Structure 1
Amino acid sequence: MSVKQDLNLLMEMLAALPDPVFVLTESGRYVALIGGHDARYYHDGSHLVDFTLHDVMPKEKADWFLHEIRRAIETEGLHTVEYALGSKDLKGSEDISGPAEELWFEGRIQPISSLVKGERAVVWVARNITERHQMQAELRRLSEQDELTGIYNRRKLMEELEEKFAEFKRYHHATSLMIFDLDHFKSINDRFGHIAGDKVLRIVTRLCAAQLREQDLFCRYGGEEFAVLLPNTSLKDAGRLAERLRRCIGEHDLQGLLGENACVTLSAGVSTIRVSDSDIEQLISRSDNALYKAKEKGRNRVVIEE
């Protein structure tokens, strides 16, 4: 086989690579693109050659790519990243063939030893991992979601509590926790059955969720017990919210489900993170204690633990 034939074969092999391979310089210029021609998985990037990242992407996105390129060059080794990229992130995307939705990629970035057009450069191999990312996201959602009510579960609450506790220790943003349960819920299950009890839990969930802010974390804590993590919320404001939820649930008519004049009430305990707290267990314990006091005082009430 002649040198020309060898070269032609090499170019044909490179062009047939299933994943796109970019050559990018330290300044963010696209020098070459090889492979990745399947429009089901990749956008057509042939027009990018000789343009820079900032020519074709929003500044924030371009800055990120540039940072990762320079990081790989400085460490002089393989650097791997994951990132999202959609046609909306590329200027002139209306003329680009390929998937319309946002895609997820694994980027494998390897520095090139020789200068390219007078600059240090990298080879950036982009592999479409959208399906894997979506599967991981779904598994994560299922692990964090209560099956009956659709809201978050106790596991998610504990994770978020740890994060908010760390933020409080650094920034001292007021963060409160409300724990409430439905009064005499066992009697509902005993009298009307567990199917009716499950419907009540879903109704309560819907009513409470409508009263909460987007940033509030609403969880089923266990059985008929719920918790609401309230970031950037003082103890006083958390107490007001708890009272609003108590009235909302108590005033809701469940006659169609449980019979004439039927209603459900709740008891709630509220506390807030203190500077003296060493862990989230102290916050949870205070909220729990406040809830027990609400029950001892006759139920259908809110107790705030200072």
Structure 2
Amino acid sequence: MFTQQQLTAILSSLPDPAFILTRSGRYSEIFGGKDARHYHDGSALIGLSIFDVLKEDKARWFAAEIGKALDCGVLHIVEYELSGSDVKGAGEGPSAPIWFEGRVQALPFKVDGEDAVVWVASNITEKNDVQRKLREQSETDALTGLYNRRKLIETLDHRMQIFAREQSQTSVLVFDLDNFKSLNDERGHHAGDSALIEIARLCRENLRQDDVIARFGGDEFVIVMPDLHRNDALEIADRLRERVPDVLRKSLSYESTISGGVSEFSQPDRFSSDILKRADEGLYFSKRSGRNRVSVR
């Protein structure tokens, strides 16, 4: 059996901090947090309330999670972010956002007359960064830095669910570079890659922040435009089309244009591929009609 002194020493040696928090949000005790890479001494918090330490919205969130853990009586796990903007007092708190996993368990006894929990906070910022980078790599086209086919389909599926539920419209533009094979044949694949990179940059600079831009394959690009009907999307597409020749002329000293097709969701659509198919039909109609144009379908 351990003595009380030994048990206290063991708890104090925990690498992650364990907070004893009452239902009202008071810091009753803190154990552990010895991993100096991730944590500072939190002993100054003892006796304070989370409402003394954190901004109102964040403090209310913590209070609600404490309440959930007390009401459910089983282990309650949450992930949350903390940054300097969440902490009261200038210059206090982390300068960059830090992510934590909180493991919250109701205690079987009262603390200072209140129900209480033990809240173990584990810094998971590094793990989240690795996961985010892996996710970005799985969703990103290596050449252009745009989203890839996988992310595009995921986005279209999501927007189709919104359309079915709320009738909130989404338009899609499909376009490619006219005579792209000739550019590769005349200048080499390096020049072709440079053209695709320049078009990707042009899209980022000229499209809305909410638009999802993807390289679908080869020289074909797809742009998902939430909350836009196809006629409004056509205006945006035409402005983009008009800028492409000048960009390619300046960057590659090469004369070329783009052709495209625009469509929007319609009631008979069952799959996200339906809207892509119509936009693709618009693209090929533009090709047959002389190129350097965008057609609506």
TM-score, normalised via structure 2 length = 0.93
Distance across 2 between alignment mates of 1:121 and 1:252: 63
SS of residue paired to 2:209: coil
1:299 aligns with 291
Match of 1:264 in 2: 256
User: Any idea what the Cα deviations from partners look like across 1:101-129, whole Å, max 9, x if unmatched?
Assistant: 22111111111111222222111101111
| Deviation of 1:64 (Å) | 2.0
Cα distance in 2 for residues equivalent to 1:235 and 1:88: 41
User: What is aligned with 2:144?
Assistant: 149
Deviations 1:72-94, CA, capped at 9 Å, x for gaps: 22221111111111243221363
1:53 aligned partner, one-letter code = I
Report the counterpart of residue 242 of structure 1 in structure 2. Answer: 237
SS at match of 2:107: strand
Residue 169 of structure 1, CA deviation: 2.2
Deviation at 1:236, TM superposition (A): 1.2
Equivalent residue runs for 1:6-17 within 5 Å: 6-17=3-14
Please name the residue that 1:33 is paired with: 30
Would you say 1:158 and 2:153 are equivalent positions? yes
Match of 2:214 among 182, 200, 219: 219
- Determine the C-alpha separation between the residues in 2 that align with 1:198 and 1:95: 48
Stretch of structure 1 that moved more, 35-44 or 244-253: 35-44
Secondary structure of 1:33 counterpart: strand
2:187 aligned with 1:187: no
The question of whether the paired residues in 1 share the 8 Å contact of 2:198 and 2:248 is answered with no
The aligned residue for residue 139 of structure 1 is 134
Q: Aligned residues, how many?
A: 297
Q: Which moved more, 1:69-78 or 1:120-129?
A: 69-78
- For residues 165 and 256 of structure 1, the distance between their equivalents in structure 2, rounded to whole angstroms, comes to 37
- In the alignment, is residue 21 of structure 1 matched against residue 18 of structure 2? yes
| Structure 2: distance between partners of 1:73 and 1:93 | 33
- Counterpart CA distance in 1 for 2:83 and 2:42 is 12
Task: Give the drift of 1:214.
Answer: 0.9
Q: What's the Cα RMSD here? A: 1.9
Aligned positions of 1:254-293 closer than 5 A? 254=249, 257-258=252-253, 262-293=254-285
- How far apart, in 2, do the equivalents of 1:133 and 1:57 lie? 23
1:42 is aligned, of 31, 39, 44, to 39
> Which one of 161, 166, 171 corresponds to residue 166 of structure 2?
171
Instruction: Name the residue aligned to 1:116.
Output: 111
Give unmatched runs, 5+ long, in structure 2: none
Alignment check: 8 A CA contact 2:84 2:92 kept: no
Separation (CA, whole Å) in 2 of partners of 1:152 and 1:53:
41
| 1:124-150 deviation line (CA, Å, top 9, x unaligned) | 101111111110011011111111011
Q: TM-score, normalising length from structure 1?
A: 0.91
- 1:255: how far off? 6.3
SS at match of 2:290: coil
Cα 1:255–1:58 change in 2 (3 A) is: closer
* Distance in 2 of aligned mates of 1:129 and 1:95: 20
Aligned with 1:51: secondary structure?
coil
Identify unmatched segments of 5+ residues in structure 1. Answer: none
- Offset of 1:277 from its aligned partner? 2.2
Q: Which amino acid aligns with 1:236?
A: N
Q: What residue is the counterpart of 2:223 in the other structure? A: 228
Residue 244 of structure 1 and its aligned partner are, at CA, apart by 0.6
